[in-house]
Chain A
Amino acid sequence: EVVLTQSPATLSLSPGERATLSCRASQSVSYQLVWYQQKPGQAPRLLIYDVSRRATGIPARFSGSGSGTDFTLTISSLEPEDFAVYYCQQRSDWMTFGQGTRLEIK
């Protein structure tokens, strides 16, 4: 099973700042890495698939990068609605999720 490790567990930033979230895979997942956002009481929402492809309606401030085992989700300038939990998921060897990074307001 591919294990995804997200860091940090919690990230405290202010609106307007840049957020960088990391996801590391226990083995190469090539380009098959996905990101979701989850707000309290809601289902996860697809943000980015296959490393860097934004889903429909996702703002350009969200971007993804990486390959192989190391991936990054970047939010260029945080908006108030961006504070949430972010999960990565791999689809190279079945489908598994990371444990999440909580992005909180500083």
Chain B
Amino acid sequence: EGQLVESGGGLVEPGGSLRLSCAASGFSFNDAWMAWVRQSLGKGLEWVGRIKTTGTTEYAAPVRGRFTISRDDSKDVLYLQMNSLQIGDTAVYYCVRSLCGVDCPGYNWFDPWGQGTLVTVSS
């Protein structure tokens, strides 16, 4: 069913940048839509954005213009570049595979999930 392993989280000051990586295995990565979902105490679970197999990306309003999702299909790796980080971006960030059914293309459910990586934005 696949495995996802995130890395790159840590402590960063407001206004700073961070890049998360997610290594995928056990499924055909280049055929998969992928996404990032974050979880914070204050806001719960929140979809961040997704990337289709074509490389087309879409983002949630709170991160649009600051975050960039990319993929390297030769390495089976997903990335999340986060710029202009704000205190409200503090969360555990999960890498997820995005799935849909007979209504594809469309909106997604998520499976599997990585173990998550913690991003803390604080001065």
Interface residues of A (CB under 8 A from B): 32, 34, 36, 42-46, 49-50, 55-57, 87, 89, 91-100
Enumerate chain B residues within 8 angstroms of A99, measured Cβ to Cβ. 44
Contact call A95/B108, Cβ cutoff below 8 A: yes
Query: Would you list 7 pairs from A and B whose C-beta atoms are within 8 A, ordered by A residue?
Result: A49-B99, A50-B101, A55-B111, A91-B106, A94-B107, A95-B108, A99-B44
Interface size on B, residues (CB 8 A): 22
Give Cα A91–Cα B112 distance, bound, in whole angstroms: 16
User: B115 in the interface, Cβ–Cβ < 8 Å?
Assistant: yes
Contact call A87/B107, Cβ cutoff below 8 A: no
Interface residues of B (CB under 8 A from A): 1, 44-47, 60, 94, 99-101, 103, 106-116
A46-B111, A89-B109 known; A56+B1 contact, CB < 8 A: yes
Closest B residue to A53 using CB positions: B101
Give Cα A36–Cα B109 distance, bound, in whole angstroms: 10
- What's the least CB distance linking B101 to chain A, in Å? 6
Give Cα A44–Cα B44 distance, bound, in whole angstroms: 12
Give Cα A57–Cα B1 distance, bound, in whole angstroms: 10
Q: Is the interface of A mostly helix, strand, loop or mixed?
A: loop
Enumerate chain B residues within 8 angstroms of A98, measured Cβ to Cβ. 44
Contact call B44/A91, Cβ cutoff below 8 A: no
Closest B residue to A43 using CB positions: B113
Enumerate chain A residues within 8 angstroms of B47, measured Cβ to Cβ. 94-97
- What's the least CB distance linking A68 to chain B, in Å? 16
Top 3 closest pairs, chain A to chain B, by CB? A91-B107, A43-B113, A97-B45
Closest A residue to B50 using CB positions: A95
